[in-house]
Amino acid sequence: MKSLPLVLLFFSLFLDLSCDKAKTDSKLNFIIVFVDDMGYGDLGVYGHPTIKTPILDQMATEGQKWTQFYSAASVCTPSRAALLTGRLPIRNGLMGSQVRVFFPDSQYGIPTSEITIAEKLKENGYKTAAIGKWHLGHKKQYLPLQHGFDYYYGIPYSNDMENINGGAIPVKDHYWKIYDSEKPVSDNYKVPLLENNEIIERPADQTTITKRYTDKAVDFIRKNKDENFFIYLAHNLPHTPLYASDEYRGRSKRGLYGDVVEEIDHGVGLIMEELKKNSLEKNTIVVFTSDNGPWLPFEQHSGSAGLLRNGKGTSWEGGHRVPGIFWGGPIKKGMVDELGSTLDIFPTILEMLGVENIKDRIMDGVSLKNTLYHGKPSKREKIFYYRSREIYAVRYKQYKAHYITQGVYNYPPGSNKKIILKEPLLYNLDVDPSERYNIADENPDILRRIKTIVDEHKGNLDPPDDLLQYRESD
């Protein structure tokens, strides 16, 4: 009987430790930094020789650098829908057959039936902010405040839209004219800057936009340091046209593109400083990635996919494979060459919090928690490369089969022809990430396995209407 108090003491300590762990897990904050058109090879830690990104390099060293991390689409609108919903955008009408992204005259936006990360976290007591580029519909019913976010500050679509010369994408000569001037001004584009649901500036001063997005993120952390918070920081840059502040313009050996990336890196550093100042680094997860690969037609004003083939808009690796850095909390340090996708961020966050995943619809993401926390193999085995509502390619483990190939933006000239292959191309991406050596003839069993995956996927696919095709004038 005398030993009972000691037993109770140990039991009490065990409960306290268990509760502390549960409290730590439930108090995780999340920040996703989602940049626009940054290539796989544009950061120092991913091999760029002249762009200096010391903050992101340090994050990759202290956390995890993923070398096989994918955006779920190779252009803006569907890639954002995929990240925020954990679902392939073909499932919610945001993968377009002809029009591939929303424009200022688009009629629709993200369906209200979709559940976003922000909505799920808000249900669980989180304060939520979307800062930066939205591109999921510019009308009020489609803006962030109507989809789970408590606060919004940003440009509702791409920074090259509504240019003063007409059309959505300026001709190359217009870009060069802007960049040749001593100090580019951003009133060549009439894009609005919104706070919550209201326009507060038009045209937005894009020369200061990176700094202002960073300041808003820091301010949100400061105001909500005693709460659970989620910040979705989606920079409009380094999408062209490129703009850097006076402080950063002319600093990088890489030119204006390097200036822009280095200013984004500096902004991430200010966010990290704020986390550390408030002792939040041990219970905040920060994710850094890109919406797709580099916009190659703009040449020195675009990024680099490094050793990967092609870039934005295509189903080659350079269009989909992007930097993926995870930092903070209990993340295990290391370089990860497992498969991961932006689709996986949503279910990963839910599992980290012990919140049940969504059950009333097909979710395409898988949780990466065990890889992030314990270094275990990723559960992801498949990547679907959609374009124009068709499957152009599929990756299974290390193998990638192409069924359709097509260039984009007529770069180089004459490359836009769509080729439906009579026989698929097959690459081993562990051996050949540049997709140069077709090994289809030697691996018929692999091609049969991938064909089965495609058939199974199509069997549970009932895609809704293409929402991107409808314009306000229709």
Catalytic status, residue 135: yes
Catalytic status, residue 19: no
Which H or E run contains 373?
helix 369-374
| Distant-in-sequence, close-in-space partners of 125: CB < 8 Å, separation ≥ 6 | 227, 228
Q: Which long-range contacts (CB under 8 A, 24 or more apart) does 7-15 make?
A: none
Label the pairing between strands 29-35 and 321-327: unpaired
| Three-state DSSP state, 174 | helix
| Distant-in-sequence, close-in-space partners of 122: CB < 8 Å, separation ≥ 6 | 128, 148, 150
Q: Which of 223, 211, 212 is nearest to 29 (CA)?
A: 223
For residues 182 and 154, the answer to whether their CB atoms sit within 8 Å is: no
Question: Catalytic: which of 19, 48, 135, 235?
Answer: 135
Angle between helices 76-85 and 345-353 in degrees, nearest 10: 20
Question: Catalytic: which of 76, 147, 235, 320?
Answer: 76
CA distances from 42 to 56, 76, 332, 388, 389 (A): 11, 18, 24, 27, 29
| Residue 335: Cβ-neighbour burial (10 angstroms; 0-12, 13-18, 19+) | exposed
The dihedral region occupied by 152, where left means phi > 0, alpha psi between -120 and 50, and beta the remainder, is beta
Amino acid letter for position 147: H
Phi, psi (deg, nearest 5) at residue 419:
-120, 110
**Diameter over CA atoms, the chain:** 89
Task: Compute the Cα dihedral for 65, 66, 67, 73 and give only its sign.
Answer: negative
| Distant-in-sequence, close-in-space partners of 162: CB < 8 Å, separation ≥ 6 | 104, 189, 190, 191
Q: Which of 323, 364, 366, 351 is nearest to 78 (CA)?
A: 364
Q: Which of 61, 146, 57 is nearest to 110 (CA)?
A: 146
Label the pairing between strands 64-70 and 321-327: antiparallel
List, by residue number, the catalytic residues.
Answer: 76, 135
